[in-house]
Structure 1
């Protein structure tokens, strides 16, 4: 009993002797940005950090440093502030486009060895420099702004699901390439302009928001998505009531909302690299720009068929672009590897094969309700 009491007393004393962590002495890093220095390809770094010091009027500060590595950048940044910079709450890492074009894995790899950094965070590519994105507006918490910019749009199903682990998973797997949001500056605020396409860890080009929707349509399931579309008026001329549109556009516009979809990529001919992409999509029709007689079942079926054909055409354009760039964000190579159980498939071999694949799109569109037109 005495022995047990002594142990408890010793543990209590040890805990009491542990040096307290005074949060007022810490700079809590919330964002990191990396750009390329042209002279020697070193890193030009920006850290945003928070301070919990009541005597500091600006709680969020930026510190800049130059180094060849991420850890070196953090050490150099520490020499420029009297706060100890800690990265346990980092939420966003931003890479300037020029750096991304040389590869970003060298900056990301230290994350695996640093147990202090969080398990997940968002990655961004910037059309401008990462520094400009992180310092463009000092009146707001840019780390929180950027994190919510991605997180909210992923939850709204506008952006595909992508974060640090998604990037690394696709970087390491053969037959699929990462994608991440690409931001630019608009009216003194960072905005998501498009989606960055990577070949391995090298940024090569981008997809527009509409093209991004199509990639997501092939690779993920929508639960409550939304998409604006345009179709030619010509096939519907006899079903359009008196049109008050003075401009007489050749197209009409509408929105598909509450999109629910499922997709499956199938390899149906291993020798000729022929694939089927099967997509089923249910949606509600909203905001027609012309008075189309949508209650007519014949019109509804024609509209569904035109939407299917339009999707096929756009999907083929995305395929042509990714094959030309030799990037595979849809994971056709992963499907090939799984179906053939070919353990000898290498990165180099798939890069040779991918531009030659043939993809057939089978799309079934079902307009289940038509909103205000009921």
Structure 2
């Protein structure tokens, strides 16, 4: 049986199918054109404003551009607002675009916004439904928006560059990795204060972002002080038993000054709290230290005696630096280690008096360290140190 189909009908069908496919592409392009997929956000406040009653929030965003005629791979935009919600509305009005916030992978906070009402800022961000709670967060000692205006050679998308840098830094034990969820949890948790990685800018022709340490918070969630890179690595070892940071220090052996590098692995920390009219804290830590490099003039072969000298120095160096870090945190009334949580659990009656935070800067915190120092598979020494 033969069926005769009019040629004009076939042509109409082909035209219809082609038009439908073209329309789909047009709709998709139009959606992308009207939708800005934000990958990074920064938050600053502007105390230079002349109106004392109005300290505007500065919101800066970075989003990739998909249009073929785009001259740059990303667009960076800064707007002001009284609140975060107001700033988001202003952004969409200025750009005449809708914001897609589900892909934000990094948030940056500037100096001024972390000094006052920082917990409220974090709370407002957490209440944005689309925001991914696993977004990484970091602090910049200046205006955080300056980071988003950089164009790293490695990757033209600054958001990708910064998030990769923070992830690699955490993997190497340089910094603790902090997400928006973890920051907000720390703000809410009694007995433990928050912290953020610190990202700075160094000038090498163009300004390049780099990890320079960390910023720790007070009990009320605002900035307490900053830590340098070595202090941050020490804090990381106390927060994360799986971290393997490396340290370097100058050493004198046989009246010769040299340099040693060592890594800290397999830490096992326990905190014990006692109360007898006053509270005292003892930190027991069993750690393994591996010598990675020893450079001492005149010493080419490390015999057992020389190794014992170096190993004892390394053990004491690590413990002294840790003790100095704890003292610094006490001076600035910051408890990122979470000692207060142990006080609350182990000495609940004392903690219920409500004097812990006032007592914290002056309490005795003793380190009892067992340090196992290794070099290769043949040399090892164990030292028990107390302070």
| TM-score, structure 2 normalization | 0.80
Q: Mapping of 1:125-164 within 5 angstroms?
A: 125-137=139-151, 140-164=156-180
In structure 2, what is the Cα distance between the partners aligned to 1:47 and 1:226?
A: 35
Match of 1:365 among 356, 371, 378: 371
Work out which of the residue numbers 7, 30, 39 in structure 2 matches 1:30: 39
Given that 2:44 and 2:143 are in contact with CA atoms closer than 8 Å, whether structure 1 keeps it comes out as: yes
Q: What's the offset of the Cα at 1:270?
A: 5.7
Q: Residue 323 of structure 2: SS of its match in structure 1?
A: helix
Question: How many correspondences in the alignment?
Answer: 342
Deviations 1:127-158 (A, max 9, x none): 22112111133762111111111111101111
Structure 1 residues 1-374: aligned runs within 5 Å: 22-38=31-47, 39=49, 40-137=54-151, 140-187=156-203, 188-199=207-218, 200-231=220-251, 233=252, 236-237=253-254, 251-257=257-263, 259-269=265-275, 271-290=277-296, 291-292=298-299, 295-342=302-349, 345=352, 349-370=355-376
Asked if the contact 1:97/1:125 (under 8 Å) is kept, the reply is yes
Query: Matched residues in 1 for 2:278 and 2:309: separation?
Result: 34
Cα displacement (A) at 1:292: 4.3
| 2-structure distance, mates of 1:209, 1:138 | 22
SS at match of 2:322: helix
TM-score, scaled to structure 1: 0.83
CA distance in 1, matches of 2:196, 2:276: 30
Structure 2: tracts of 5 or more residues without a match: 1-26, 381-387
Quote the Cα distance in structure 1 between the aligned partners of 2:282 and 2:310.
23
Tell me how far apart the structure 2 counterparts of residues 127 and 258 of structure 1 sit (CA, whole Å). 29
Question: Shift of residue 294 of structure 1?
Answer: 6.3
The answer to whether the 8 Å contact 2:275/2:347 transfers is: no
Q: Distance in 2 between matches of 1:54 and 1:90?
A: 23
Q: Deviations over 1:41-97 (max 9, x none)?
A: 120221112233333232311111110111111110111213311111111111110
Q: Residue 95 of structure 2: SS of its match in structure 1?
A: coil
Q: CA RMSD in A?
A: 2.7
Q: Is the 8 A contact 2:172 2:243 kept in 1?
A: no
